[in-house]
Amino acid sequence: MKNFGIREALSTLGIRKNNLGVSTGKKWYKSNGPLLESYSPVDGKLIGSVYAGDEKTFDQVVDKSTAAYKEWRKWPAPKRGEVVRQLGEALRKYKEPLGKLVSYEMGKSYQEGLGEVQEMIDICDFAVGLSRQLHGLTMHSERPLHRMYEQWHPIGVVGIISAFNFPVAVWSWNTMLAWICGDTCIWKPSEKTPLCSIACQNIVNEVFEKNGVPEGVSCIVNGNFVIGQLMAKDERVALISATGSVRMGKAVAKTVSERLGRTLLELGGNNAIIITENANIDMAIIGATFGAVGTAGQRCTSTRRLIIHKSIFEEVKNRLSKAYGQLRIGNPLDIQNHVGPLIDVQAVKTYKDALKKVKLEGGTFVVEGGVLKGKGYESGCYVKPAIAEVKNEFEIVQHETFAPILYLIRYSTLEEAIELQNGVKQGLSSAIMTTRMQDMEKFLSSEGSDCGIANVNIGTSGAEIGGAFGGEKETGGGRESGSDAWKVYMRRQTNTINYGNSLPLAQGIKFDL
């Protein structure tokens, strides 16, 4: 394994000081859009800048992507899968430099950066197999000498709006499946992590050029919310897959629904772990700590709430406090550190405001938070993970704060714990720590967790490619990645074939001439 320095990583990935931010594959576009400057939250230094798209270049990109779709959909799905297989191999080649860029531009630990690229590799592998399994059903017809079946066709241009916290993985969840389904993709990355998108497009271009993939199958349009609005309004974009805040998701859903388009929404989470009186506390402490402080609490699956049985509440609280005392906060490229910075100073302000609200509402801090200053913390984005004892009905607890703040809540009965767990507007990830089979099964039953993800004896954070990822309620209801999530990128068509010499009608209707 080569130890890439950040400058060497940037050079390897084709990142320059100034970069064009709009591409249809073979072509990079100049535009009059705003200049996006990417400053690392690690050290506050300028990494590079990106010339973002404007309405004119966006329109050109959609035209090119629409034209490419008409050719790409004709490629046999296994042939499209072969291209994705080669892309997976390219990502293996670039895993270290891309993982380092993810860590440096976003602020997550280098191990998490490498893990994010591994997710990209895994979804490539998943998509390759899937390219030979885009199957439909065959049904028996009520009419003699008739056959019914269903098949799936690509839907066209897919627009992808991604968030800063997973600057490459979530894009890949969508594109790899959409591509093997026969769709083309336009990516609007987060304006906070634009360089990661440039790196990904460079890797894709290298593979696509070798395989003669039509220009426009993979497109990016960097920019601010204006590009997202243009994408949501454009009737040529069949599906909008948007990851981000609930506020953003509601705006996208409203705009797209007005033109009767499709949406796939992955929005906020307010995830809880229930720790029962018979839980393995050692496992619970590890799961809760990583879930709360991993990516500095900036995952949609981050653990926000611990719902702890009253008989073990003090023990869990004390052990968590001890575990937090061992956390090392600092440069995420140093593998000895557990916690890196928040994405920017605005995120730090949100964190500080949340701490104030906890106190105003009557919460008690078990581990005090605060902003770190001094050598190594010059960017102003490093904060201390905090723990507070609260009540579930506190307004601040009801909202997702994208920061490492963990709330502790007592419960008496499992029914009460499940009610507390479900007693928020978000419904992404959930977990229970228990050694009692009845508790596990109740938590997973229809009267248990109301989230899209429900785990037993693991935390809320982290998900494998094989399972469909997504949540309910204000989380948006979307599903990405594994299982049958591929169907959202396709349209279902029911077919009936009459191979007889007469024309009987359904439901026995008579119509004789």
DSSP sequence for 334-384: STT-SB---SSHHHHHHHHHHHHHHHHTT-EEEE--EE--STT-TTS--EE
The sheet with strand 28-29 has its strands ordered as: 28-29, 22-23, 218-221, 184-188, 157-161, 237-243, 262-266
Is 300 noted as a catalytic residue in this protein?
A: yes
What is the C-alpha to C-alpha distance for residues 122 and 176, in angstroms, rounded to an integer? 10
**Mean local confidence (pLDDT), 61-71:** 98
**Mean local confidence (pLDDT), 55-78:** 98
Could you say which of 124, 185, 200, 300 is catalytic?
300
- Per-residue pLDDT of 195-215, as tens digits, reads 999 999 999 999 999 999 999
* The predicted structure's pLDDT at residue 463: 83
Residue 249: pLDDT band with limits 50, 70, 90: very high
**Mean local confidence (pLDDT), 496-512:** 92
- Per-residue pLDDT of 351-372, as tens digits, reads 999 999 999 999 999 999 999 9
- Per-residue pLDDT of 472-493, as tens digits, reads 999 999 999 999 999 999 999 9
Are 222 and 193 within 8 A, CB to CB?
A: no
**Mean local confidence (pLDDT), 146-165:** 98
**Mean local confidence (pLDDT), 300-312:** 98
Q: Is the pLDDT of residue 105 over 90?
A: yes
More confident site: 510 or 22: 22
For the entire predicted model, the pTM comes to 0.96
Residue 512: pLDDT band with limits 50, 70, 90: confident
* The predicted structure's pLDDT at residue 1: 54
Q: Is the pLDDT of residue 275 over 90?
A: yes
Residue 335: pLDDT band with limits 50, 70, 90: very high
What is the C-alpha to C-alpha distance for residues 287 and 273, in angstroms, rounded to an integer? 9
**Mean local confidence (pLDDT), 397-410:** 98
Is 266 noted as a catalytic residue in this protein?
A: yes
* The predicted structure's pLDDT at residue 188: 98
Q: Is the pLDDT of residue 28 over 60?
A: yes
Could you say which of 266, 389, 400, 474 is catalytic?
266
**Mean local confidence (pLDDT), 313-342:** 97
* The predicted structure's pLDDT at residue 2: 67
